[in-house]
């Protein structure tokens, strides 16, 4: 089955760290750029980060730059999001998503079900 499954969420104190994982299956993971998107409950979708097929190109939203690090292990079909110096405003459901292309236009055609991060003392 083609799917993405996130894990690693939970409750963490402000200033703490957490590493999210997203395990891919059913497709050639090493051929896909991958993204993280988050959603505060009751609010909209917000793009967080992306990584290229080889793990050499990464980008971040300004709100997480310098605190979050995206990486991947193609041997394990997994993409990670290392989150440091967490703040209350980072509390959200985090989704990983696969980038796909048609007519040279990219879109997220596969999403995980998300993992909830709560930053609170």
Q: Which residues bind another protein (CB under 8 A)?
A: 35, 37, 39, 44-47, 50, 59, 61-62, 95, 97, 102-103, 105-109, 111-114
The answer to whether 22 and 79 have CB atoms below 8 angstroms apart is yes
Q: Name the pairing type of β-strands 45-51 and 58-60.
A: antiparallel
Least distance to another protein, CB of residue 113, Å:
5
* Cβ distance to another protein smaller for residue 56 or 121: 56
* Cβ distance to another protein smaller for residue 88 or 107: 107
Nearest to 77 by CA among 109, 31, 39: 31
Cα→Cα distances 41→55, 58, 86, 99, Å? 30, 26, 17, 24
The answer to whether 21 and 7 have CB atoms below 8 angstroms apart is yes
The answer to whether 118 and 16 have CB atoms below 8 angstroms apart is no
* Cβ distance to another protein smaller for residue 44 or 66: 44
* Cβ distance to another protein smaller for residue 27 or 108: 108
């Amino acid at each position: 089955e083609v799917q993405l499954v996130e894990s690693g969420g939970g409750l963490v104190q402000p200033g703490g760290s957490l590493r999210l994982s997203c395990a891919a299956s059913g497709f050639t993971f090493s051929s896909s750029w991958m993204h993280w998107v988050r959603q505060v409950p009751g609010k909209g979708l917000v793009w967080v980060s992306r990584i290229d097929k080889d793990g050499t190109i990464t980008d971040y939203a300004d709100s997480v730059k310098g605190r979050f690090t995206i990486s991947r292990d193609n041997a394990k079909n997994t993409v990670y999001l290392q989150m440091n110096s967490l703040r209350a405003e980072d509390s959200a459901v985090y989704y990983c998503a696969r980038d796909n292309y048609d007519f040279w236009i990219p879109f997220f055609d596969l999403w995980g079900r998300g993992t909830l991060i709560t930053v609170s003392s």
